[in-house]
Amino acid sequence: MRRLISALALGLALCFAASGAQALSPDEMLSNPVLEKRARTISAELRCMVCQNESIDDSNADLARDLRVLVRERLVAGDTDEQVLEFLVARYGEFVLLRPRLQMSTLLLWGFPIAVLLAGGVAIVLSIRRRRASPVEAAPLSESEKKQLKKLVGASGD
């Protein structure tokens, strides 16, 4: 039993260690630790155009590698972080950003989830109000049902 628990613990540890691995290769890294830290920060904000759900820092795609190298080249050339991001947005569009900026062109992207939640809330409130406002009316009793009711009420009253 202890072996099984040890094997599971080791497996979990390896899974977590592997998930933290990044695609950055040593030849891409800058010798200046300050620039490298800035490059990592920028890379974490950029979407891999191939994988689309990963940052370029996490992706093994060739295009992601090219973008990581480009970010580092721009930083070495003296660009600020914002200038690097603007350069990449101008080249690849807003889609290159993992978190698109709030602008007129992205307003639907940011506002749609909020609008859906609000519409759902309004629909729930209206549904509850309708149920409370319109009580269910019983159908009128037929003549035979009225006679049967009189018999039952009369029988219980004796």
| Phi-psi map region of 66: left, alpha, beta (phi>0 left; psi -120 to 50 alpha) | alpha
Same domain, 61 and 27: yes
Same domain, 95 and 109: no
51: buried, middle or exposed (CB in 10 Å: 19+, 13-18, 0-12)? middle
Say how many C-beta atoms besides its own lie within 10 A of residue 32's C-beta: 13
CA dihedral (70, 76, 78, 83) in degrees, to 10, reads 20
> pLDDT digit of tens for each residue in the chain (158 aa)?
667 566 555 555 544 444 444 555 556 667 688 888 998 988 888 988 887 778 888 888 888 888 999 999 999 998 898 999 999 988 888 888 877 766 666 667 677 888 899 999 999 998 888 887 766 677 888 999 889 988 888 866 55
Same domain, 84 and 51: yes
The pLDDT, as a whole number, for residue 11 is 54
The pLDDT, as a whole number, for residue 15 is 46
Same domain, 125 and 58: no
Same domain, 39 and 76: yes
Same domain, 86 and 123: no
CA dihedral (93, 94, 95, 97) in degrees, to 10, reads 120
- Tell me if 145 is assigned to some domain: no
- Tell me if 138 is assigned to some domain: no
Structure-token match 């992601």, residue found: 64
CA 64, CA 57: separation in Å to the nearest integer?
7
Whether the CB-CB separation of 32 and 23 falls below 8 Å is answered with no
Question: 3-class SS at 148?
Answer: helix
Same domain, 28 and 89: yes
pTM beyond cutoff 0.75: no
CA 68, CA 40: separation in Å to the nearest integer?
9
Print the domain residue range for 43: 21-101
The pLDDT, as a whole number, for residue 115 is 86
CA 96, CA 90: separation in Å to the nearest integer?
10
Query: Which of the listed residues 101, 125, 149 is the one where a domain comes to its end?
Result: 101
The pLDDT, as a whole number, for residue 7 is 54
- Tell me if 7 is assigned to some domain: no
Same domain, 88 and 119: no
Same domain, 71 and 29: yes
- Tell me if 12 is assigned to some domain: no
- Tell me if 84 is assigned to some domain: yes
Same domain, 76 and 128: no
Instruction: Look at the chain and report how many structural domains it folds into.
Output: 2
Same domain, 30 and 90: yes
- Written as one string, the DSSP assignment of 41-100 is HHHHHBBPTTTSSSBTTT--SHHHHHHHHHHHHHHHTT--HHHHHHHHHHHH-GGGBSS-
CATH number for the domain that contains residue 71: 1.10.8.640
Same domain, 53 and 77: yes
